[in-house]
Amino acid sequence: MPVIPGAFDYHSPRSLDEALSLLQQHAGEAKILAGGQSLLRYVEERGDHLAIGAMTREHALEDSSVVRNSYSLLHDTALVIADPLVRNQATVGGNIAHADPANDHPATMLAYDATLVTKGPKGERTIAIDDFFTGLFENAMSDDEILTEIRIPKPAANSGGAYTKFERKVGDYAISAAAVQLRLDGDTVAAARIGLTNVSAVPMRAQGAEAELVGKSLSDAVIEAAGKAAAAECDPSPDLRGGVDYKRDITRVMVKRSIQQAVARAKGGK
Amino acid sequence: MSEHEVTLTVNGESVTRSVEARMLLVHFIREDLSLTGTHIGCDTTSCGACTVLVNGKPVKSCTVFAVQAEGAEVETIESVAAGGVLHPLQEGFWEKHGLQCGYCTPGMIMTAKEFLVRNPNPTEDEIRRGISGNLCRCTGYNKIVEAIQYAAEKLQADAGGE
Amino acid sequence: MPQLDDRTEPHSELADGVSAQVPTTDEVQIKTPENIGGMGHRKKRKEDPRFLQGKGNYVDDVKLPGMLYMDIVRSPYAHAKINKIDASAALEMDGVLAVITGEDLKAAGDLHWMPTLMSDTQMVLPIDKVVYYAQEVCAVIATSRYIAADAIEQVFVDYEPLDAVVDPFEAMKDKVIVRDDKDKKTNHIWHWEAGDKAATDAVFNDATTVVKEKFYIPRIHVSSIETCGMVANYNKVREHMQIYMTSQAPHAHRTVFALVSGIPEHKIQIISPDIGGGFGGKVPVYPGYVICAVASLVTGKPVKWIEDRSENLQADSFARDYHIEAEMAADKEGRITGLRVKTLSDCGAADAAANPSKFPAGLYSICTGSYDMKAAHVEVDGVYTTKPPGGVAYRCSFRVTEAVHMVERMTDIMAHDLGVDPADYRLKNFIRPDQFPYKSPTGWEYDSGNYEAALNKAMDMIDYRGLRKEQAEKRAKGELMGIGISSFTEVVGAGPSKDYDILGIKMFDSAEIRIHPTGKAMARFGTKSQGQGHETTYAQIIAEELGLPADDIEVEEGDTDTAPYGLGTYASRSTPTAPRPTASGPTRAVLPQLRARPPQWPRGRSGPRRRRSPRTC
């Protein structure tokens, strides 16, 4: 019966320091389970960034007015992670730290150029999201570190973002999904970052697609070229959700739709 | 393997039990507390038949360890008909034929109960999104949506009348 | 595609004239007063209050004193030789009482194989080899669910993988033999034909138009929201086996258990409590049930087995998996003249379809559908593959889904090739009302019908002509819009004994109605609801027939000790078959007597107060 988990020991630390010392004691054998604690649970703007406590439940992103009003890409993402019941239990930090390319937050955080804050026996450090995902289910944290906070830079003026996900049914992983965050200078794309979901072994940025956008004046042809570049540079595996060609083409469409939506938002639309 | 004493409130009553760390909340509720109205339909957090409220939020109790519910307020389907009077949702499911085999019904009602607290006057689309984490194999959902609409109207009318 | 403008309207006069006679819902007459609440009265379901309050009683809710738990070790290969099963580590675990293997079942009286309804055999537990992925290999019996789950991880099976064959066309080449337990070393199970080959060939030779198509109706799983399970409770002193089981057919299962196990049928009680959906998936007898019953027999204690979702999806009965090649012929007027069908039925590792018809391909030969044609010939071959066995399930009525899909699709293709509107083409080719009773070219007798009237009525209801116009306008703008039409003729209510049978019992159902002195009634049936609402429907039918208030009738099903014999609930059979005995003369005769002399509390004494039913439950 796979529904029944294997036996394990359980500790419920009351503080971050207690958690860190337990991690050291059980180095390499412990897995962090976000539980009943209310540690590290917040979503708020602090100076130049949005700070999200790693143990923040996904539903808190959905409900947050600052996220809804100023971080459209993150809000889009929060609405399509798993299903509403899972979002009441799942945490933002868990979604990222698991380093699963099928999860939705990695692509979004890549597009936002987020910074991750971790704490370990040697103290606190920050890791740029571009350096965080090191392999399938592998990240740049050491065994005795805990992810404590995610920092998303406050979008500059004339910025917009969007997450578009294609899934077989609610609760399933994406066949493909695209996270786009960009800034416009008139009709020219001044900056753009694009993250892709579930079309590579390691969460990836579509840098080829970004290059097709940055510095260009927006047109259907430019957006199409970005979509095609993403389709070419992604590396999906064939599975029950579809074959490689299909997933590439879905990626092209997701990237285009996210760009179109992000542009509309950058221009002041919703 | 470790045993832990957990204390939580279930349907308003405080319970303390010693459980294995790996004991799933759904098994704790069904086996240790003999509250069998909460069902198990899958092993992949997919179906929502095991939905209960933990601190007011619906969660799939097959994906929560009992030890994680330490100190929590848990509500199951058995608590919904307060004082033996059916909740407007239960009335709605009965009136609108929102169930057939009845297996998904408790989870569906628990999800809808919290949903209507957050969104007392929902559109049909919002209801469908709200219950998208719960699967029903019999009805095709239309009658469930009607049942929730019925309950929303009833709750609104009751609130207005006070 | 045909243009609507140049369309003629065949049979429009006849169709319009007849459609007026077909009653619509609002014309249904309610014959009983409100307080009786017979057929046609709107009634909330009697079963719902318990489901709405978490008080249903499903198999996994059953808890018996001293109950043990079973978990199953399953094969990680689709086809593999078993060299050795080493259960010693599992048996050393605290709380593990037994590991049951195929050898144990063999020693218990050759219980390692069981017969199927299709006159085939199926492994309960293997001794030599496994023939599908997730096949049951052995079972662990332990004092808790969790220990049983831990223990299956400690059973070590030495497998020698063999080539799998999952494509039925490959299987027909006999390069990999799935069932080497059989005398004949072939995967071909049976060949079956219906209709007249020579007459069909002749019709095709004379045809003006012939269309051909290949179809694959894929394997599907019913996926009821409750999986399957059992609590078996053998009482050694009474030599009595009590079984709680997710069963759509408790009486048939009792008979099968008696035949398989050797326990006399009167010493077996099967209780099918509330069932969380069946859809045909709770008709077959799965190996898990048999092992669970044996486990209780061996330990003398109640044993619970509840499969999880993965097990349910991987190993339980499937439906469909038909590979069809069809040809349809038409004459120069465009009339359908013949149908020629060849089909390969992928049966998996055993021919174990829960099919109570007398034919290996079920009712597939109903495939000429609602159309009049001169000749038809249908051939079906059954073949083994290294996949789980099964074949029939919901919306199927024993291969009718496959038959209907094929003939309707062929009719659409023919209409398309002839340039005729698909609805008009159907109206033109339907069996006409004056042809009934109609003998179909594959041997079915259709007693009555008026297909033109039915289709015309449906077309009027959706404004078919208007939709076609809208479709044409949208197409002109490059927008696609589809309209689908399907008609079907099938045998429901499984069914007449000349075509149906289970184990020589024939198909029937019975009802038992007890009327208590105060005029309240208890009605028991051999069918078993899985969500269909029998408790309400049957009460309303009895109310209609006997004039007792539906609210005064308690309907009960599922306990073979108390319910009268019946073949169970599937194939849309329960409502047409089960409540019929309620209209019998003797039942009706007793009522006037009761009404004339109702029991009364003697006058002058203080009697019990009248209780009002609680409003909520």
Which residue on chain C is closest to B45 by alpha carbon? C309
Indicate whether A174 and A240 sit together in one domain. yes
Split at pLDDT 50, 70, 90, the class of C612 is: low
Q: Which residues on chain B are in Cβ contact (under 8 Å) with C313? A: none
Mean pLDDT of the residues in chain A? 95
Indicate whether A107 and A207 sit together in one domain. no
Q: Radius of gyration (Cα) for chain A, nearest Å?
A: 19
Percent of chain C with pLDDT over 70: 91
pLDDT in tens, C93-129: 999 999 999 999 999 889 999 999 888 999 999 999 9
Residue C14 has pLDDT above 50, yes or no: no
User: What is the pLDDT at residue C500?
Assistant: 87
User: What is the pLDDT at residue C8?
Assistant: 36
Q: What are phi and psi of C455, to 5 degrees?
A: -65, -40
Q: Which residues on chain A are in Cβ contact (under 8 Å) with B2? A: 8-10
pLDDT in tens, C142-161: 999 999 999 999 999 999 99
Count of domains for chain A: 2
> Taking CB atoms and an 8 Å limit, are B59 and A85 in contact across chains?
yes
Mean pLDDT of the residues in chain C? 91
Indicate whether A112 and A173 sit together in one domain. no
Mean pLDDT, range C177-205, rounded to an integer: 97
Dihedral sign, Cα of residue C142, residue C146, residue C148, residue C153: negative
Looking at the domain assignment, is residue A24 inside a domain? no
Which residue on chain B is closest to A7 by alpha carbon? B1
User: What is the pLDDT at residue C261?
Assistant: 87
Q: Which domain holds residue A67?
A: 37-153
Q: Does the CB of C436 have a partner CB in chain A at under 8 Å? A: no
Residue C2 has pLDDT above 50, yes or no: no
Split at pLDDT 50, 70, 90, the class of C508 is: confident
Split at pLDDT 50, 70, 90, the class of A34 is: confident
Indicate whether A60 and A131 sit together in one domain. yes
Contact at 8 Å (CB) between A195 and A233?
A: no
Q: Does the CB of C124 have a partner CB in chain B at under 8 Å? A: no
Indicate whether A144 and A53 sit together in one domain. yes
User: What is the pLDDT at residue B156?
Assistant: 95
Of A75-89, A206-220, C374-388, C571-585, the range with the lowest mean pLDDT is C571-585
Nearest-CA neighbor of C4 among C463, C488, C480? C463
Partner chains of A (3+ C-beta pairs under 8 Å): B, C
Q: Which residues on chain B are in Cβ contact (under 8 Å) with C274? A: 101-102
Cα separation, B38 vs B25, in Å, equals 10
Residue A210 has pLDDT above 50, yes or no: yes
Residue C10 has pLDDT above 60, yes or no: no
Looking at the domain assignment, is residue A25 inside a domain? no
Q: Which CATH superfamily is domain B82-161 in?
A: [2Fe-2S]-binding domain (1.10.150.120)
Domains observed in chain C: 4-23+189-220+319-476 (3.30.365.10), 48-53+497-596 (3.30.365.10)
Cα separation, C233 vs C304, in Å, equals 9
Mean pLDDT, range A128-157, rounded to an integer: 96
Looking at the domain assignment, is residue A125 inside a domain? yes
Looking at the domain assignment, is residue A200 inside a domain? yes
Residue C497 has pLDDT above 90, yes or no: no
Residue C208 has pLDDT above 90, yes or no: yes
Instruction: Cite the beta strand spans of C320-394 per DSSP E.
Output: 322-330, 336-348, 375-384
Cα separation, A233 vs A199, in Å, equals 10
Looking at the domain assignment, is residue A4 inside a domain? no
Can you read off the two tokens belonging to residue C130? 């496994």
Residue C616 has pLDDT above 60, yes or no: no
User: What is the pLDDT at residue C16?
Assistant: 40
Looking at the domain assignment, is residue A8 inside a domain? no
Looking at the domain assignment, is residue A146 inside a domain? yes
Q: Does the CB of A201 have a partner CB in chain B at under 8 Å? A: no
Last residue of a domain, one of A153, A171, A188: A153
> Taking CB atoms and an 8 Å limit, are A2 and C71 in contact across chains?
no
User: What is the pLDDT at residue C491?
Assistant: 81
User: What is the pLDDT at residue C7?
Assistant: 34
Nearest-CA neighbor of C246 among C569, C617, C582? C569
Interface mutation vs chain C, best among B103, B105, B113, most C CBs within 10 Å: B103
User: What is the pLDDT at residue B48?
Assistant: 97
Q: Kindly provide the b/e burial profile for residues A225-261, where b requires at least 16 CB atoms within 10 angstroms of the residue's own CB.
A: bbbbbbbebbebeeeebbeeeebbebbbbbbbbbbbb
Across the A:C interface, residue pairs with CB atoms under 8 Å apart total 17
Residue B128 has pLDDT above 80, yes or no: yes
Indicate whether A98 and A200 sit together in one domain. no
Contact at 8 Å (CB) between B86 and B92?
A: no
Contact at 8 Å (CB) between C293 and C304?
A: no
Indicate whether A131 and A219 sit together in one domain. no
- Beginning with the edge strand found earlier in the chain, give each strand of the sheet holding C553-557 in spatial order: C511-515, C521-525, C553-557
Indicate whether A235 and A255 sit together in one domain. yes
Helices and strands counted in chain A (H then E): 11, 11
Contact at 8 Å (CB) between C349 and C178?
A: yes
pLDDT in tens, C533-590: 999 999 999 999 889 999 999 999 999 999 999 999 998 889 888 877 776 666 676 6
Residue C24 has pLDDT above 80, yes or no: no
Indicate whether A191 and A149 sit together in one domain. no
pLDDT in tens, C246-266: 999 999 999 999 988 889 999
Looking at the domain assignment, is residue A100 inside a domain? yes
The domain limits of chain B are 3-79, 82-161
> Taking CB atoms and an 8 Å limit, are B133 and A89 in contact across chains?
no
CATH of the domain at A84: 3.30.465.10
Indicate whether A212 and A230 sit together in one domain. yes
Which residue on chain A is closest to C139 by alpha carbon? A1
Split at pLDDT 50, 70, 90, the class of C225 is: very high
Mean pLDDT of the residues in chain B? 96
Q: What are phi and psi of C371, to 5 degrees?
A: -105, 145
Indicate whether A226 and A181 sit together in one domain. yes
CATH topology of domain B3-79: Ubiquitin-like (UB roll) (3.10.20)
Indicate whether A126 and A70 sit together in one domain. yes
Last residue of a domain, one of A136, A153, A170: A153
Q: What are phi and psi of C314, to 5 degrees?
A: -85, -35
pLDDT in tens, C36-91: 999 999 999 999 999 999 999 999 999 999 999 999 999 999 999 999 999 999 99
Last residue of a domain, one of A105, A134, A153: A153
Complex ipTM > 0.95: yes
